[in-house]
Amino acid sequence: MQQSGHVGKILVRPPEIAAVSLRPATVIHADATYLLVGGLGGFGIETARFLVERGARHLALASRSGTVSDTARTAIDEMTAKGASVRVFAADVSTREGVDGLLAAIDAQMPLLRGLLHTAMVIDDALFQKLDRARITSVLAPKIAGAHHLDAATRGRPLDLFVLYSSATTLIGNPGQAAYVAANAYLEALARKRHAEGLPALAIAWGAIADAGYLARNADVSAMLSMRMGKQSLTARAALAGLSLALDAGLDDPVLAYARMNWGAAKRELPIMASPLASLVLRGGGDDASERSGDGEIGRLIGEMEPKEAIRMVISVLTGEISRILRLPTEEIEPGRPLTEIGMDSLMALELRMAAEQKLGVDIPLLSLANGATLGDIARKVVERAAGADSSVSQEAELVAGRHVDEDMDEDVAAAMTAIEARSGEFKRLI
C-alpha cells in the first residue's frame, strides 16, 4: 500500500466493537484483609468506607508517613463502629524493602491478605520545560515503583482483588501533568500484563472527583480538568458506585475509564476527539449539536441591542472563550484587566479572534487584541463592528481596498508571524 503496488482502492475500517465478556463477580470476604496503599488520602479513605459497606472487616491503610488526618480519623472511627478492624501502617512502597516490610507486618497482625488497592499518588504540576529529574521522579515513584513492587511481592499470594487507581488524563491529557499521565499509563499497562498472565487486575482511569482527594484541595486544577471534560465531575460516592459496578459485573477487561463527560463540550478542548476512533464514542451523542447551536446568531442579536446590553453579552461570551484558551476559571477574568497580564500571548489572541468570528460572526483585527487591550475594549470593538460602525466606507475607499492588501490583514500577518517566531524559539529551547 505504501509503495502504491495495489490495484483499486483500499478502505480501512476500524474493528467492530466486541461484545463485553464477563467473569464471576468479585466477592469481598469478611474474614480477609484488604490493603489500601494511599488509603489515608481523601479518595483512599472513601474507598476504605466503600469496602466496609461491601462487607470488608479487616483493612490495612498504608501511607508513606502513616499520619492520620482529622478527616481520616473520623472515617476510621465510623468504620470501627460498624465492626471493622482498621490498622494504619507507615511504608514507602517505592522501595522493595518498604513493600516487604509492610506485607510482613500485615501477615503478623491481620488475617490472610486477599485484596490490594493502590490509590497512592503525588502530583507536582509543571510545564515540560520546567521539569527536572527530581520533580519527575517524585511523581513517578509512588505509582510506577510502588505498583511494580506490589505486583512482584504479591504474585505468590491468593489475591482475588488487585486494583490500580489511574486517571482519565491518560485518555485526554492535562497541561502540566506529563509525569502524572505517564505514571498512570504504566499502571494501565501493568494491569493488562497481569491480566494476560491470569492474575487479578483492574486499572480504573478516574475522571475528575470534586469532593475528595487532590482536586477537592486544589480548585484551580479541578476547574481545568473539569473544563476538558465538558465541565463535568464526579462525587466520590458516584465514582465508587462505578467501582461497585465493575466488581459486580465481573468485566473481563483489565482497564476501565469511569468519568462524566459532556462530549460535545469536550470536543472543543480535546484534539483526540477529532480522530476516527473517537467518532465511535461521539456517534449519536447529541451533545455536539447543542454546543454549536447559536453560533453566529449572537452577532445578529448584539447588532439589535442597546450598546451597554450588547457589551455585557459579548463580555460573557468572550469570557468563556478566554477561560477555555487560558484554562482559567471564569471568575479570574476581569473585564478591565489587560489580557496580557493573565497570560494571553499573540498566538492565543489569534485563537481568540477565530473563536470570536465563529461565535459572534464578527472579524476583529488582531492588533485590537494586543497592546494592553482589556476584555472590555474588545467587547466594545465587537459591538461597534456588529452595529456596522466600522463598515461604512466610501466608494473610493472600496476601490482602493480592492487593489491593495487590507491593512488589518497586513497587521494580522505581522502579529501572527511574531507569535509563531516566539513559539518557535520556545520549542528550540526545549529540544
Every domain of the chain and the residues it spans: 33-261, 307-430
Closest to 175 in 3D by CA, of 131, 133, 137:
131
Dihedral pair phi/psi, residue 113, rounded to 5°? -75, 120
Contacts of 104 (CB under 8 A, 6+ apart): none
Q: Would you state the pLDDT for residue 151?
A: 98
- SS3 of residue 115 by DSSP: strand
Closest to 27 in 3D by CA, of 155, 91, 115, 127:
115
Q: Would you state the pLDDT for residue 14?
A: 64
Cell readout for 230 is 465538558
Each residue's pLDDT, cut to its tens digit, for the chain (431 residues) gives 556 666 666 666 666 655 555 556 788 999 999 999 999 999 999 999 999 999 999 999 999 999 999 999 999 999 999 999 999 999 999 999 999 999 999 999 999 999 999 999 988 877 777 889 999 999 999 999 999 999 999 999 999 999 999 998 888 777 778 899 999 999 999 999 999 999 999 999 998 887 776 666 666 655 655 555 555 677 888 889 889 888 887 677 899 988 877 766 666 666 666 666 666 666 555 444 444 444 455 666 776 678 888 888 888 888 888 887 877 777 788 888 888 888 877 777 777 777 777 777 777 765 556 667 888 888 888 888 777 644 433 333 343 334 334 444 555 555 555 555 555 554 444 44
Question: pTM score, two decimals?
Answer: 0.62
Closest to 62 in 3D by CA, of 84, 33, 41:
41
Handedness of CA 367, 369, 372, 378 (dihedral sign): positive
Q: How far is the first Cα of the chain from the last one, in angstroms, to the nearest whole number?
A: 34
Cell readout for 1 is 500500500
Q: Which CATH number fits domain 33-261: 3.40.50.10800, 3.40.190.10, 3.40.50.720, 3.100.10.10?
A: 3.40.50.720
> How many residues does this entry show for the chain?
431
Which fold does the domain 307-430 belong to in CATH?
A: 1.10.1200
Within 13 Å and on the Cβ side, how many CA atoms surround 404?
10
Contacts of 315 (CB under 8 A, 6+ apart): 335, 375, 376, 379
